[in-house]
Amino acid sequence: MKLTIIGTGYVGLVTGTCFAEVGHQVICVDKDPEKIKLLLEGGMPIYEPGLDELVRKNVNAGRLQFTTSTGEGVERSDIIFIAVPTPPQPDGSVDLSFIETVSREIASSMTAYKIIVDKSTVPVKTGEKVAETINRYCKAKVDFDVVSNPEFLREGFAVGDFMKPDRVVVGVASQRPVQAMKDVYTPYNAPIVVTDINSAELIKHAANSFLALKISYINAVSVLCELSGANVQEVAAGMGMDTRIGRQFLDASLGFGGSCFPKDLSAFIKISEQLGYEFGLLKEVQKINATQMDRFVKKISETMWVLKGKKLGILGLAFKQNTDDVRMSPAIELCQRLQQEGVILRVHDPRAMDKAKAVLTDVTYVSDMNEVAEGCDALVIATEWPEFKQLDLERARKNLTHPILFDGRNLFNVDEMEKLGFLYKSIGRGQGA
């Protein structure tokens, strides 16, 4: 099938590439000429495991192309996917200006029937607005259908998630686009949930908010563990074996971040408010998340006593493992809060240092994780990169002026760290953890 993706970012590039991988003919559009130039030259604008080989393979096979022209994208395909940003506004509501702009651009280029599919995460009722906008700006007055097809991939596992989705959600206003959407997704062998557009849009916000809720829940339990002397990992394991609950998203930490959870949560709270419902539960989820970061900073400051002038090594800048994405990263927030207290930072991330440089200045970027601790008063783990488990702890202990390690991701075993001579502070594992 001929498919166009407008917006070639984390979602758009993965979507386009994985569509090409199953044999569709795909053209990815982006308004950023640098991004398209880089892709046309064989480069990659983002780090996503396995994506670069897949892009190369499908470009070489002639199934994946790139352009800056929305007009070309609209003309060449029957189905147009929108994957542009939907960032938060200061009051938590969603900035839909990118969606509106793309809707107008698509409308002005349409000369024949098209299916316009929204893959961006948008508030319920956005599909109706997109249809209205296209009607208004389409001079040719051709027929079209708007479809909602929210994306559930996780950065860091995006290719696997896209190729083997748990489900594909397709929201439609009529039966006309259903078969075409099924044809697009049949190669992935996943259940296809066909519903109305409003329900499809709600599914995405409801799902992401629920996952954020699960994280805040275990983080709140981790506080109880610290107060009572229990171990949150044991509690999570015991809870997670119940199939009604499941073990995923029950890892206590310094809090969630990234470009999706915080923004989707505030959006859902705002959407509810606009619809006339006060979603207090989700406000508490936000509050617990903010408190979790406060508690971690407090843990560091209480242990170090005076923070001003102390030197700390930070392992991890990405908002989670396996990605170079630092948008709304808890690790970056932690660094900035420590800087405000006058802490001097040496930082390392396996993939995210280039992107971090744009938002985190006045720190020393260290390319080898084992050199971060040199001359530092303490070491902090802020992102759950699996390679940090291979840290040379003996060397870190010798390099630190005092062997203190704050672990915001519970990567190490408490007893082993103590045996190695560390003062080891993690999340929710025993009193004074």
Site of interaction with ligand NAD (CB under 6 A): 6-12, 29-32, 35, 70, 83-86, 98, 101-102, 120-121, 151, 153, 155, 259-260
Least distance (Å) between residue 327 CB and ligand NAD: 8
Least distance (Å) between residue 422 CB and ligand NAD: 34
Q: Is 28 a catalytic residue?
A: no
Least distance (Å) between residue 21 CB and ligand NAD: 18
Nearer to ligand NAD, 30 or 377 (CB): 30
Nearer to ligand NAD, 85 or 313 (CB): 85
Nearer to ligand NAD, 260 or 352 (CB): 260
Least distance (Å) between residue 298 CB and ligand NAD: 30
Nearer to ligand NAD, 64 or 405 (CB): 64
Annotated catalytic residue: which of 28, 138, 225, 260? 260
Nearer to ligand NAD, 35 or 299 (CB): 35
Residue with the shortest CB distance to ligand NAD: 9
Nearer to ligand NAD, 233 or 266 (CB): 266
User: Three-state SS string across the chain, please?
Assistant: CEEEEECCCHHHHHHHHHHHHCCCEEEEECCCHHHHHHHHCCCCCCCCCCHHHHHHHHHHCCCEEEECCHHHHHHHCCEEEECCCCCECCCCCECCHHHHHHHHHHHHHCCCCEEEEECCCCCCCHHHHHHHHHHHHCCCCCCEEEEECCCCCCCCCHHHHHHCCCCEEEEECCCCCHHHHHHHHHHHCCCEEEEEHHHHHHHHHHHHHHHHHHHHHHHHHHHHHHHHCCEHHHHHHHHHCCCCCCCCCCCCCCCCCCCCHHHHHHHHHHHHHHHCCCCHHHHHHHHHHHHHHHHHHHHHHHHHCCCCCCEEEEECCCCCCCCCCCCCCHHHHHHHHHHHCCCEEEEECCCCHHHHHCCCCCCEECCCHHHCCCCCCEEEECCCCHHHHHCCHHHHHHHCCCCEEEECCCCCCHHHHHHCCCEEECCCECCCC
Least distance (Å) between residue 9 CB and ligand NAD: 2
Distance CA 17, CA 260 (A): 21
Least distance (Å) between residue 335 CB and ligand NAD: 22
Nearer to ligand NAD, 30 or 407 (CB): 30
Q: Which residues pair with 227 in a beta bridge?
A: none
**Residue 182 CB-half CA count within 13 A:** 10
The tokens for 357 are: 């440089």
Least distance (Å) between residue 210 CB and ligand NAD: 15
Taking a C-beta distance cutoff of 8 angstroms, is the pair 305, 264 a contact?
no
Least distance (Å) between residue 10 CB and ligand NAD: 4
Nearer to ligand NAD, 159 or 230 (CB): 159
Distance CA 352, CA 165 (A): 26
Of 88, 95, 83, 94, the residue nearest 10 (C-alpha): 83
Q: Residues near 34 by Cβ (< 8 Å), separated by ≥ 6?
A: none
Q: Which residues pair with 393 in a beta bridge?
A: none
Catalytic residues: 260
